[in-house]
Amino acid sequence: MQALARVAHETAVAPIHPSVDKVLLVEDNEFNRDMLSRRLKRSGWQVEVAGDGIQALEHARRGAFDLILMDMSLPEMDGWSVTRLLKENLQTRSIPIIALTAHAMNGDREKAILAGCDEFETKPVEYSRLLGKMEWLITGKEL
């Protein structure tokens, strides 16, 4: 591995996020939303939040987000429907979406992938694993 490539690699996996990438956090549970939002900001992410599916659509369409964390169980419109609409739209389809769901065992992962989610994380979120997936989606697939 070339020295420069190694430096880039080490930077990409550093615990503190190196750039100011912008994430949309969609979560209707206020406690979970505030906690995750605070942790992401401490890790160097720029965070905007949405508390229901309609808000999520509106935010995603007018913010230039690098990534979306999408709770699947949401009021107004569920996360699967929001994801499907975002992935059908040329303007938003390239934004990576990580599905968050409390239900690991009932086919939610398959439903999330079918809706167009790029990754999947079960709640309660294991933070370091989630960060790893976020970094991986942002920096490309080479890690």
Q: Interface with Mn ion by CB under 5 A: which range of 23-31, 40-48, 51-59, 134-142? A: 23-31
Q: Is 71 in the site for Mn ion (CB under 5 A)?
A: yes
Q: Interface with Mn ion by CB under 5 A: which range of 38-46, 49-57, 71-79, 90-98? A: 71-79
Closer residue to Mn ion in complex, CB, 66/71: 71
CA 55, chain centre distance (Å): 16
**Tokens 């913010």 belong to residue:** 63
- 58-80: burial string, b at 16+ Cβ within 10 Å, e else: ebbeebebbbbbbbbbbeeebbb
Name which position in 43, 73, 81, 122 contacts Mn ion (CB under 5 A): 73
Q: How many residues bind Mn ion (CB under 5 A)?
A: 3
**Range 74-133, binding Mn ion (CB under 5 A):** none
Q: Interface with Mn ion by CB under 5 A: which range of 55-63, 67-75, 82-90, 126-134? A: 67-75
- Nearest-CA neighbor of 109 among 98, 94, 96, 93? 98
* Terminal-residue alpha carbon distance, the chain: 13
**Site residues for Mn ion per CB under 5 A:** 28, 71, 73
